[in-house]
Amino acid sequence: MIRTVSTLVLDGLAVFEFGVICEVFGIDRSNDGVPNFDFKVCGPEVGRPLRTSVGASLTPDHDLGELVGADLVAVPAIINQDYPPEALAALRAAADSGSIILTVCSGAFVAGAAGLLDGRSCTTHWMHADELARRYPTAKVDRNVLFVDDGNLITSAGTAAGIDACLHLVRRELGSAVTNVIARRMVVAPQRDGGQRQYIDQPIPVHCSDSFAPQLDWILANLQERHTVSSLARRSNMSARTYARRFVDETGTTPMQWVTDQRVLYARRLLEESDLDIDRIADRAGFRTATLLRHHFRRIIGVTPSDYRRTFACAAECPESA
Protein backbone atom coordinates (compact mmCIF):
# COMPACT_ATOMS: atom_id res chain seq x y z
CA MET A 1 0.00 0.00 0.00
CA ILE A 2 1.32 3.43 -0.93
CA ARG A 3 0.50 6.24 1.47
CA THR A 4 3.59 8.46 1.43
CA VAL A 5 5.27 9.67 -1.76
CA SER A 6 8.47 11.71 -1.90
CA THR A 7 9.83 13.10 -5.15
CA LEU A 8 13.52 13.84 -5.58
CA VAL A 9 14.25 17.04 -7.51
CA LEU A 10 17.70 18.22 -8.57
CA ASP A 11 19.21 20.75 -10.96
CA GLY A 12 18.39 19.85 -14.55
CA LEU A 13 14.90 18.60 -13.73
CA ALA A 14 12.62 17.97 -16.73
CA VAL A 15 9.30 19.61 -15.97
CA PHE A 16 6.96 17.31 -17.92
CA GLU A 17 8.17 14.15 -16.22
CA PHE A 18 8.02 15.92 -12.86
CA GLY A 19 4.49 16.99 -13.71
CA VAL A 20 3.48 13.40 -14.47
CA ILE A 21 4.50 12.33 -10.97
CA CYS A 22 2.67 15.32 -9.46
CA GLU A 23 -0.47 14.60 -11.51
CA VAL A 24 -0.71 10.97 -10.43
CA PHE A 25 0.41 11.23 -6.81
CA GLY A 26 0.25 14.89 -5.81
CA ILE A 27 -3.40 15.83 -6.43
CA ASP A 28 -6.05 15.32 -3.78
CA ARG A 29 -8.75 13.13 -5.35
CA SER A 30 -10.30 11.94 -2.10
CA ASN A 31 -13.68 13.31 -3.22
CA ASP A 32 -13.56 10.73 -6.00
CA GLY A 33 -12.75 7.91 -3.59
CA VAL A 34 -9.01 7.88 -4.26
CA PRO A 35 -6.76 7.64 -1.18
CA ASN A 36 -4.92 10.90 -0.65
CA PHE A 37 -1.14 10.52 -0.80
CA ASP A 38 1.13 12.39 1.59
CA PHE A 39 3.14 14.01 -1.21
CA LYS A 40 6.47 15.80 -0.69
CA VAL A 41 8.88 17.48 -3.10
CA CYS A 42 12.41 16.99 -1.77
CA GLY A 43 15.68 18.62 -2.74
CA PRO A 44 19.20 19.09 -1.39
CA GLU A 45 18.25 22.31 0.38
CA VAL A 46 14.82 23.55 1.45
CA GLY A 47 13.99 26.86 -0.15
CA ARG A 48 16.88 26.87 -2.64
CA PRO A 49 15.58 27.17 -6.22
CA LEU A 50 16.66 24.48 -8.65
CA ARG A 51 17.04 25.13 -12.35
CA THR A 52 14.90 23.10 -14.70
CA SER A 53 15.60 21.96 -18.26
CA VAL A 54 13.44 24.77 -19.68
CA GLY A 55 14.92 27.73 -17.82
CA ALA A 56 12.30 28.05 -15.08
CA SER A 57 13.06 27.37 -11.43
CA LEU A 58 11.50 25.04 -8.88
CA THR A 59 11.88 25.31 -5.12
CA PRO A 60 11.53 22.19 -2.93
CA ASP A 61 9.72 22.44 0.39
CA HIS A 62 11.40 19.40 1.98
CA ASP A 63 14.95 18.16 2.37
CA LEU A 64 16.49 14.82 1.39
CA GLY A 65 15.72 13.30 4.76
CA GLU A 66 12.07 12.99 3.70
CA LEU A 67 13.05 10.38 1.10
CA VAL A 68 13.97 7.80 3.71
CA GLY A 69 10.95 5.89 4.95
CA ALA A 70 8.58 7.01 2.20
CA ASP A 71 6.50 4.23 0.68
CA LEU A 72 7.44 5.52 -2.77
CA VAL A 73 10.35 7.64 -3.93
CA ALA A 74 9.82 9.01 -7.44
CA VAL A 75 12.67 10.35 -9.57
CA PRO A 76 11.68 12.39 -12.64
CA ALA A 77 13.92 12.88 -15.65
CA ILE A 78 16.96 14.87 -14.59
CA ILE A 79 19.29 16.01 -17.35
CA ASN A 80 22.62 16.29 -15.60
CA GLN A 81 26.04 14.70 -15.60
CA ASP A 82 26.81 14.96 -11.90
CA TYR A 83 24.42 14.31 -9.06
CA PRO A 84 24.97 15.56 -5.50
CA PRO A 85 26.50 12.74 -3.43
CA GLU A 86 24.11 13.50 -0.58
CA ALA A 87 21.14 12.99 -2.92
CA LEU A 88 22.47 9.62 -4.09
CA ALA A 89 23.11 8.58 -0.49
CA ALA A 90 19.54 9.53 0.48
CA LEU A 91 18.14 7.57 -2.48
CA ARG A 92 20.17 4.49 -1.47
CA ALA A 93 19.01 4.86 2.11
CA ALA A 94 15.40 5.07 0.96
CA ALA A 95 15.77 1.89 -1.08
CA ASP A 96 17.47 0.15 1.85
CA SER A 97 14.62 1.20 4.12
CA GLY A 98 12.07 -0.52 1.86
CA SER A 99 10.87 2.32 -0.36
CA ILE A 100 9.70 1.54 -3.87
CA ILE A 101 11.88 3.49 -6.30
CA LEU A 102 10.18 4.80 -9.45
CA THR A 103 12.14 6.57 -12.18
CA VAL A 104 10.78 8.36 -15.23
CA CYS A 105 12.86 8.59 -18.41
CA SER A 106 16.45 9.67 -17.63
CA GLY A 107 15.70 9.48 -13.92
CA ALA A 108 17.10 5.96 -14.33
CA PHE A 109 20.57 7.51 -14.47
CA VAL A 110 20.10 8.87 -10.95
CA ALA A 111 19.13 5.40 -9.75
CA GLY A 112 22.15 4.00 -11.57
CA ALA A 113 24.49 6.51 -9.97
CA ALA A 114 23.07 5.48 -6.59
CA GLY A 115 23.91 1.84 -7.35
CA LEU A 116 20.27 0.75 -7.60
CA LEU A 117 20.45 -0.70 -11.12
CA ASP A 118 23.20 -3.24 -10.46
CA GLY A 119 21.97 -6.62 -11.70
CA ARG A 120 18.44 -5.26 -12.14
CA SER A 121 16.14 -5.14 -15.15
CA CYS A 122 15.39 -1.57 -16.18
CA THR A 123 14.66 0.80 -19.04
CA THR A 124 14.89 4.45 -20.03
CA HIS A 125 14.17 6.61 -23.07
CA TRP A 126 15.36 4.83 -26.23
CA MET A 127 17.69 7.73 -26.99
CA HIS A 128 19.55 7.13 -23.73
CA ALA A 129 19.39 3.33 -23.47
CA ASP A 130 22.85 2.65 -24.91
CA GLU A 131 24.40 5.26 -22.63
CA LEU A 132 22.65 3.79 -19.59
CA ALA A 133 23.98 0.33 -20.48
CA ARG A 134 27.47 1.76 -20.99
CA ARG A 135 27.54 3.58 -17.67
CA TYR A 136 26.05 0.71 -15.67
CA PRO A 137 27.19 -2.49 -17.41
CA THR A 138 25.62 -4.85 -14.86
CA ALA A 139 22.17 -3.33 -15.41
CA LYS A 140 19.86 -5.32 -17.69
CA VAL A 141 18.62 -2.53 -19.95
CA ASP A 142 15.54 -3.36 -22.01
CA ARG A 143 15.32 -0.93 -24.91
CA ASN A 144 11.96 -2.03 -26.29
CA VAL A 145 9.42 -1.51 -23.52
CA LEU A 146 7.45 1.34 -22.00
CA PHE A 147 8.37 0.39 -18.45
CA VAL A 148 9.90 -2.38 -16.39
CA ASP A 149 8.50 -3.51 -13.04
CA ASP A 150 11.26 -5.24 -11.10
CA GLY A 151 9.51 -5.37 -7.76
CA ASN A 152 10.72 -2.46 -5.66
CA LEU A 153 12.31 -0.80 -8.70
CA ILE A 154 10.16 0.54 -11.52
CA THR A 155 11.77 2.34 -14.45
CA SER A 156 10.02 3.90 -17.43
CA ALA A 157 10.90 5.01 -20.91
CA GLY A 158 10.50 8.60 -22.07
CA THR A 159 7.80 11.17 -21.49
CA ALA A 160 4.32 9.58 -21.69
CA ALA A 161 5.69 6.18 -20.68
CA GLY A 162 6.06 7.70 -17.22
CA ILE A 163 2.26 7.88 -17.09
CA ASP A 164 2.08 4.17 -17.90
CA ALA A 165 4.57 3.31 -15.18
CA CYS A 166 2.88 5.49 -12.55
CA LEU A 167 -0.58 4.12 -13.30
CA HIS A 168 0.78 0.57 -13.37
CA LEU A 169 2.20 1.07 -9.88
CA VAL A 170 -1.11 2.48 -8.63
CA ARG A 171 -2.90 -0.52 -10.14
CA ARG A 172 -0.43 -2.94 -8.57
CA GLU A 173 -0.67 -1.40 -5.12
CA LEU A 174 -4.22 0.00 -4.97
CA GLY A 175 -6.19 -1.86 -7.64
CA SER A 176 -8.00 -1.15 -10.90
CA ALA A 177 -10.82 0.98 -9.50
CA VAL A 178 -8.46 3.63 -8.10
CA THR A 179 -6.36 3.54 -11.26
CA ASN A 180 -9.40 4.04 -13.46
CA VAL A 181 -10.49 7.12 -11.50
CA ILE A 182 -7.05 8.74 -11.80
CA ALA A 183 -6.76 7.84 -15.49
CA ARG A 184 -10.22 9.21 -16.25
CA ARG A 185 -9.33 12.53 -14.63
CA MET A 186 -6.08 12.59 -16.64
CA VAL A 187 -7.95 11.61 -19.83
CA VAL A 188 -5.55 8.75 -20.55
CA ALA A 189 -5.91 4.99 -20.92
CA PRO A 190 -5.79 3.37 -17.47
CA GLN A 191 -3.43 0.69 -18.69
CA ARG A 192 -1.73 0.60 -22.06
CA ASP A 193 0.81 -1.91 -20.87
CA GLY A 194 1.82 -4.26 -18.18
CA GLY A 195 0.66 -6.20 -15.20
CA GLN A 196 3.11 -7.33 -12.54
CA ARG A 197 6.71 -7.59 -13.74
CA GLN A 198 5.75 -7.16 -17.36
CA TYR A 199 8.02 -6.52 -20.30
CA ILE A 200 5.58 -5.68 -23.07
CA ASP A 201 6.13 -3.72 -26.26
CA GLN A 202 3.71 -0.87 -26.76
CA PRO A 203 0.70 -2.53 -28.43
CA ILE A 204 -0.44 0.36 -30.61
CA PRO A 205 2.18 2.37 -32.55
CA VAL A 206 2.82 5.94 -31.49
CA HIS A 207 3.22 7.05 -35.09
CA CYS A 208 1.20 5.76 -38.01
CA SER A 209 0.52 7.42 -41.35
CA ASP A 210 -2.97 8.71 -42.04
CA SER A 211 -3.26 6.39 -45.00
CA PHE A 212 -2.50 3.29 -42.91
CA ALA A 213 -4.40 4.16 -39.73
CA PRO A 214 -7.78 2.94 -41.10
CA GLN A 215 -6.25 -0.51 -41.56
CA LEU A 216 -5.44 -0.73 -37.87
CA ASP A 217 -8.79 0.72 -36.86
CA TRP A 218 -10.61 -1.93 -38.89
CA ILE A 219 -8.61 -4.74 -37.30
CA LEU A 220 -9.32 -3.41 -33.81
CA ALA A 221 -13.04 -3.30 -34.62
CA ASN A 222 -12.97 -6.86 -35.96
CA LEU A 223 -10.67 -8.77 -33.63
CA GLN A 224 -13.18 -11.62 -33.44
CA GLU A 225 -12.72 -12.37 -37.15
CA ARG A 226 -10.13 -14.80 -38.50
CA HIS A 227 -7.16 -12.87 -39.87
CA THR A 228 -4.19 -13.86 -41.98
CA VAL A 229 -1.61 -11.75 -43.73
CA SER A 230 -3.23 -12.72 -47.03
CA SER A 231 -6.76 -11.75 -45.94
CA LEU A 232 -5.59 -8.42 -44.55
CA ALA A 233 -3.55 -7.75 -47.67
CA ARG A 234 -6.58 -8.38 -49.87
CA ARG A 235 -8.58 -5.77 -47.94
CA SER A 236 -5.80 -3.28 -48.66
CA ASN A 237 -5.44 -4.24 -52.31
CA MET A 238 -1.82 -5.22 -51.76
CA SER A 239 0.17 -8.38 -52.21
CA ALA A 240 0.87 -10.28 -48.99
CA ARG A 241 4.57 -9.48 -49.22
CA THR A 242 4.01 -5.75 -49.77
CA TYR A 243 1.42 -5.58 -47.01
CA ALA A 244 3.68 -7.36 -44.52
CA ARG A 245 6.59 -5.05 -45.34
CA ARG A 246 4.41 -1.94 -45.09
CA PHE A 247 2.93 -3.13 -41.79
CA VAL A 248 6.37 -3.56 -40.22
CA ASP A 249 7.40 -0.13 -41.48
CA GLU A 250 4.30 1.45 -39.92
CA THR A 251 4.11 -0.42 -36.61
CA GLY A 252 7.52 -1.94 -35.97
CA THR A 253 6.07 -5.45 -35.76
CA THR A 254 4.52 -8.09 -38.02
CA PRO A 255 0.79 -8.11 -38.84
CA MET A 256 -0.01 -11.29 -36.93
CA GLN A 257 2.04 -10.34 -33.89
CA TRP A 258 0.24 -6.99 -33.77
CA VAL A 259 -3.14 -8.71 -34.05
CA THR A 260 -2.19 -11.12 -31.26
CA ASP A 261 -1.04 -8.24 -29.05
CA GLN A 262 -4.34 -6.44 -29.58
CA ARG A 263 -6.34 -9.59 -28.83
CA VAL A 264 -4.45 -10.05 -25.57
CA LEU A 265 -5.00 -6.38 -24.70
CA TYR A 266 -8.73 -6.76 -25.34
CA ALA A 267 -8.89 -10.00 -23.35
CA ARG A 268 -7.11 -8.27 -20.49
CA ARG A 269 -9.76 -5.54 -20.45
CA LEU A 270 -12.54 -8.12 -20.44
CA LEU A 271 -10.87 -9.93 -17.54
CA GLU A 272 -10.78 -6.68 -15.59
CA GLU A 273 -14.21 -5.31 -16.42
CA SER A 274 -16.54 -8.25 -17.14
CA ASP A 275 -17.69 -11.48 -15.54
CA LEU A 276 -17.42 -13.44 -18.80
CA ASP A 277 -15.79 -16.84 -18.46
CA ILE A 278 -12.54 -17.66 -20.22
CA ASP A 279 -14.19 -19.46 -23.12
CA ARG A 280 -16.40 -16.44 -23.92
CA ILE A 281 -13.46 -14.06 -23.61
CA ALA A 282 -11.35 -16.24 -25.90
CA ASP A 283 -14.10 -16.16 -28.51
CA ARG A 284 -14.70 -12.42 -28.30
CA ALA A 285 -10.98 -11.68 -28.54
CA GLY A 286 -10.60 -13.88 -31.61
CA PHE A 287 -8.57 -16.69 -30.04
CA ARG A 288 -11.41 -19.19 -30.52
CA THR A 289 -10.28 -21.50 -27.70
CA ALA A 290 -9.42 -20.90 -24.05
CA THR A 291 -6.24 -22.94 -24.54
CA LEU A 292 -4.97 -20.58 -27.22
CA LEU A 293 -5.90 -17.54 -25.12
CA ARG A 294 -4.02 -18.92 -22.12
CA HIS A 295 -0.96 -19.64 -24.26
CA HIS A 296 -0.67 -16.15 -25.72
CA PHE A 297 -1.78 -14.37 -22.55
CA ARG A 298 0.89 -16.03 -20.45
CA ARG A 299 3.53 -15.51 -23.13
CA ILE A 300 2.82 -11.77 -23.43
CA ILE A 301 1.54 -10.77 -19.98
CA GLY A 302 3.58 -13.26 -17.96
CA VAL A 303 0.72 -14.67 -15.87
CA THR A 304 -2.34 -16.80 -16.57
CA PRO A 305 -5.71 -15.16 -17.27
CA SER A 306 -7.00 -16.54 -13.96
CA ASP A 307 -4.15 -15.00 -11.97
CA TYR A 308 -4.52 -11.72 -13.81
CA ARG A 309 -8.23 -11.56 -13.08
CA ARG A 310 -7.72 -12.26 -9.38
CA THR A 311 -5.28 -9.36 -9.19
CA PHE A 312 -6.87 -6.74 -11.42
CA ALA A 313 -10.60 -7.44 -11.81
CA CYS A 314 -12.83 -4.46 -11.04
CA ALA A 315 -15.80 -6.64 -10.15
CA ALA A 316 -16.05 -8.05 -6.66
CA GLU A 317 -16.41 -11.59 -7.96
CA CYS A 318 -15.68 -12.65 -11.54
CA PRO A 319 -16.47 -16.32 -12.20
CA GLU A 320 -14.12 -18.06 -14.57
CA SER A 321 -13.86 -21.51 -16.04
CA ALA A 322 -10.86 -23.57 -15.05
Residues whose CB falls within 8 Å of the CB of residue 257, separated by 6 or more in sequence, listed in order = none
- Asked whether residue 197 is assigned to any structural domain, the reply reads no
The model's pLDDT over 26-85, given as tens digits with 9 standing for 90+, comes to: 999 999 999 999 999 999 999 999 999 998 999 999 999 999 999 999 999 997 778 999
The domain that holds 303 is classified in CATH as 1.10.10.60
Residue at 200 is within a domain: no
How many Cβ atoms are within 10 Å of 255's Cβ, its own excluded?
22
Q: Which domain holds residue 216?
A: 205-322
Average pLDDT, the chain: 88
pLDDT grade for 159, boundaries at 50, 70 and 90:
confident
Write b or e for each residue in 22-32: b if 16 or more Cβ atoms lie within 10 A of its Cβ, otherwise e. bbbbbeeeeee
Q: Which residues, listed in sequence order, are joined to residue 74 by a DSSP beta bridge?
A: 7, 102
> What's this model's pTM, rounded to 2 decimal places?
0.63
Q: For residue 198, is pLDDT > 50?
A: no
Domain check: are 75 and 215 in the same one?
A: no
Cα distances (Å, whole numbers) of residue 271 to 203, 224, 282, 287:
18, 16, 10, 14
What are residue 40's phi and psi, to 5 degrees?
-130, 140
Check whether residue 241 and residue 149 sit in a common domain: no
Q: Residue 145 is part of a domain; what is its CATH number?
A: 3.40.50.880
* Amino acid type, 248: V
- Does residue 168 sit in the same domain as residue 233? no
pLDDT of residue 192: 55
Q: Is the CB of residue 190 less than 8 Å from the CB of residue 169? A: no
- Given pLDDT bands bounded at 50, 70 and 90, which one contains residue 189? low
Say whether both 278 and 232 belong to one domain: yes
Query: Can you tell me the distance from the alpha carbon of 169 to that of 86, in angstroms, rounded to the nearest whole number?
Result: 27
Q: Per the structure, how many domains does the chain have?
A: 2
- State residue 200's pLDDT score: 37
In a domain, 199, yes or no: no
R_g over Cα of the chain = 21
How far is CA 244 from its chain centroid?
28
178 and 232 part of one domain: no
